[in-house]
Structure 1
Amino acid sequence: MEQVRGRDTWTDSGVSYAGDPLVSSTTTSFESGETFKEQALGFVMAWCEILMELGRGFRDILRQNLVNDDSYVVRKLRGPCSKVSKRLSFLNHFLPEDRDPLHAWSVVFFVFILALAAISVDPNREAVAPVVKVRKHPPSASRVLLPDGRYMAYREQGVSAETARFSLVAPHSFLSSRLAGLPGVKASLLEEYGVRLVTYDLPGFGESDPHPNRSLNSSAMDILHLVNAVNVSDKFWLLCHSSGCIHAWASLRYIPERIAGAAMLAPTVSPYDPQMTKEEMKRTWEKWLPRRKMMYSLARRFPKLLAFFYRKSFLPEKHDEIEKLLSFSLGKKDKLLVEEPEFEEFWQRDVEESVRQGNIYPFIEEAVLQVSNWGFGIKELHVQKNCQTRGLLLWLKSLYSQEECELAGFLGLTHIWQGLDDRVVPPSMMEYVERVLPEAVIHKLPNEGHFSYFYFCDQCHKHMFATLFGTPQGPVEPPEETTFEEDKEVKEEVLQVSV
């Protein structure tokens, strides 16, 4: 039989049938087929085609069910979309005539997003600042026992209680503690004016015990019990900054007879105050970042949800930038100030003291107090005559006699310093206070921000003290204790002579 030459006969399952050399199917496939790289590329291309077909299928389903004229979505959005497209139709004149506006503007929007993302990446940005951990400090505060059994932590600066010419009591702001007071105030300045500065921790902050039912009324009563416990027998002054001023407003309302006056720096009022005009409210809200607006809305309507955000923000293991922590933007002078090492060290220590109990609920209570119904309006502090006019005879008598009339409101002095570049407490809040409380003395500060006139500003502190207390007279001289001893010695001599 003639031998068959040439190509191998057919193979099946890797087994050759006939042919001289025995060649495996694997070898044959690599010799005649594609490489592994080409096979992988083909596999990827095939999957891309499958995904494209799947996308076309979804698109067809959406068109048939949602984008047709009878769908619910089209019926609801057809009117608003047509109005918007008509208002923006003038922009189509900037496009070439042969371009579909929908396709062209989609491309423009996509390119805009890519450009915005590219601009936000700064290759020349400086290295990230070193991470600073939140430290824990041993207790260091003096404490007084309040009538309800709670302990309140406080701190004293300046002259002693016996030699104080003026007593200043300072409630602190939101993420702060008794350590704040008047940041960076010189001991020599307190001595020069004879000032005793008393600061304290709000309930649940620092080393003060929490209050089970906090309100602005209870806050004013806490201040009253504190000054009595630390031997402030005469009238005292209030000093407050930012959100700490809500407790000062409450004190002016509920214990006005004990207060000589108030010094307020960028004082907060409720952004939901019903006495604010729509224009004042609008100019207040538009200065805030979206996250800050959301926090105020949650505190007003869903305060329990604040626990999730505050726990992540205020109880971390590491310090964060002040702007990110409190969700606000800063003006030019404030940005320069917060970059100073002195401010950063002071701020971090104050934050560490405020969160030392690890309890988030006092912060939630404080936020709710800012936006809730205070139980009084700032307009009630306006000085006005309160006459007994019940009955015709009393009314006629009050017209000719002052005996049946008494002055209502806060009768002391109120000084307010407001930076016009403040983006945390907008100047519109100050304008509202100026409208409803015309007797308040407003000091408008051009180019000043929220912190720049309060933190580590010696000239500012001197100007404030000079405005409040006039010419410095130093501390009061303590009473001489030798008079009683001399009288005692004279009496003993007289007795000896008589004997």
Structure 2
Amino acid sequence: MHIVDPARLGQVRLPDGRALGWAEWGPEDGAPVLLCSGAATSRWLGFGGDVVGPLGIRLITVDRPGLGASDPAPGRTLDGWAQDVRRLAAARGLPSLAVLGYSQGAPFALACAAAGIATRAAVVAGTDELAHPAFRDTLAPEVRRMVEAVEADPAGAEAFFRGFGGAEALWDLVLAMSGDEDRSVYTEPGFARAYRRAMAEAFAQGPDGYARDTVLAMGRWPFDPAAITAPVDLWYGARDTSAVHSPDLGATLARRIPTARRHVLPDAGGALLWTHAEAVLRALLERTRP
């Protein structure tokens, strides 16, 4: 696990005038991999700082609208995010873009794959389509209540999430939902500093961006995973205790995505993006369209 500051920071101006904030690690001429970050984090939190260079990877993070350095887009959708990424890729010169979604970033990454923007994709400790009927009886009670609230009244649920709190409340929630395996990663001093800075940056404009992300993650996806043609790797740790990640560690999702390859690591938790960065990135680089 090696956390380093971004090598490059900037913004892209979209055709509608909005700005998207981005950060990069690794060589500028490397193979581009776009990380769709987890809940309430920002472009400041990368991964694999010690391997992106040797692997020849240009790792990119982008603040979703309303978070960090990206302008808000009220009422935005997962499909809208995919189009933002399409425009960013064109502006930044990112051919053959791979996408990786961590935790709540999973549906955002898969939206890019479903839209044909990504040539390959990975989901790491990702949330699933929690509102899908397959999970009706397997969600933790508090997660089921959130899913039902989004289904019944999306605007009301968004207002509720907006009032949840800020970076400190989310940090406390992450630790509370984590088992010993992950808590030891998150509370390592260097990692904790980077993670908490990324959270503080995410809430710099207030809680609206986080609230909209959560509504999108808790609702039905506007795309069919069965339509994804790019190769997809699903990574889960058997010791992951998060109630908002996939209830069955990606088993259902692997059946729904024809091109999926599922990895369940017996000794890993939900923090495997950082504990197994090299394996995740090597597999992503090696996948080719079937």
Letter aligned with residue 240 of structure 2: D
3-state DSSP of counterpart to 1:264: strand
**Matches of 1:351 and 1:168, distance apart in 2:** 22
CA displacement, residues 305-356 of structure 1 (integer Å, 9 cap, x when unaligned): 55355435226xxx3573x435962223012222321222122101101000
Q: Which moved more, 1:427-436 or 1:204-213?
A: 427-436
**Matches of 1:192 and 1:309, distance apart in 2:** 41
3-state DSSP of counterpart to 2:131: coil
**Matches of 1:420 and 1:201, distance apart in 2:** 29
Distance change (3 Å), C-alpha of 1:363 and 1:149: same
**Matches of 1:468 and 1:199, distance apart in 2:** 16
Partner of 2:199: 351
Alignment of 1:156-305 (within 5 A): 156-160=24-28, 163-164=29-30, 166-182=31-47, 185-187=48-50, 189-232=51-94, 234-254=95-115, 256=116, 258-274=117-133, 276=134, 280-283=135-138, 285=139, 288=140, 290-303=141-154, 304=156
**Matches of 2:219 and 2:72, distance apart in 1:** 19
Q: Which moved more, 1:237-246 or 1:363-372?
A: 363-372
CA displacement, residues 210-257 of structure 1 (integer Å, 9 cap, x when unaligned): 11330111100000111111111x211112201101111111111x1x
**Matches of 2:131 and 2:249, distance apart in 1:** 11
| 2:238 aligned to which of 403, 416, 420 | 420
Letter aligned with residue 265 of structure 1: V
Distance change (3 Å), C-alpha of 1:321 and 1:244: closer
Letter aligned with residue 414 of structure 1: V
Alignment of 1:20-99 (within 5 A): none
Letter aligned with residue 148 of structure 2: S
Distance change (3 Å), C-alpha of 1:306 and 1:146: closer
How well do the aligned residues superpose, as a CA RMSD in angstroms? 2.3
| Pairwise CA distance, 1:461 | 1.8
Alignment of 1:120-135 (within 5 A): none
Letter aligned with residue 342 of structure 1: G
* Contact 1:291/1:327 (8 A) holds in 2: no
Q: Is 1:152 paired with 2:14?
A: no
3-state DSSP of counterpart to 1:282: coil
**Matches of 1:432 and 1:354, distance apart in 2:** 31
Scaled by the length of structure 2, what TM-score is found?
0.86
**Matches of 1:300 and 1:264, distance apart in 2:** 24
When Rg is computed on C-alpha atoms for both structures, the one with the higher figure is 1
Q: How many pairs does the alignment contain?
A: 276
* Contact 2:251/2:262 (8 A) holds in 1: no
Q: Which moved more, 1:433-442 or 1:413-422?
A: 433-442
| 2:251 aligned to which of 399, 409, 431 | 431
Alignment of 1:250-399 (within 5 A): 250-254=111-115, 256=116, 258-274=117-133, 276=134, 280-283=135-138, 285=139, 288=140, 290-303=141-154, 304=156, 306-308=158-160, 310-314=162-166, 319-320=168-169, 322=171, 324-325=172-173, 329-358=177-206, 360-381=207-228
Scaled by the length of structure 1, what TM-score is found?
0.52
Q: Which runs of 4+ in 1 moved over 6 A?
A: none
**Matches of 1:345 and 1:380, distance apart in 2:** 40
**Matches of 1:291 and 1:444, distance apart in 2:** 25
Partner of 2:4: none
Letter aligned with residue 420 of structure 1: A
Distance change (3 Å), C-alpha of 1:362 and 1:141: same
Letter aligned with residue 235 of structure 2: W
| Pairwise CA distance, 1:445 | 0.8
Partner of 1:464: 280
Distance change (3 Å), C-alpha of 1:308 and 1:272: closer
| Pairwise CA distance, 1:430 | 0.5
**Matches of 1:148 and 1:309, distance apart in 2:** 27
Identity %: 26
| Pairwise CA distance, 1:371 | 2.4
Q: Larger relative contact order (C-alpha < 8 A, sep ≥ 6)?
A: 2
| Pairwise CA distance, 1:295 | 3.2
3-state DSSP of counterpart to 2:20: strand
3-state DSSP of counterpart to 1:144: strand
* Contact 2:98/2:118 (8 A) holds in 1: yes
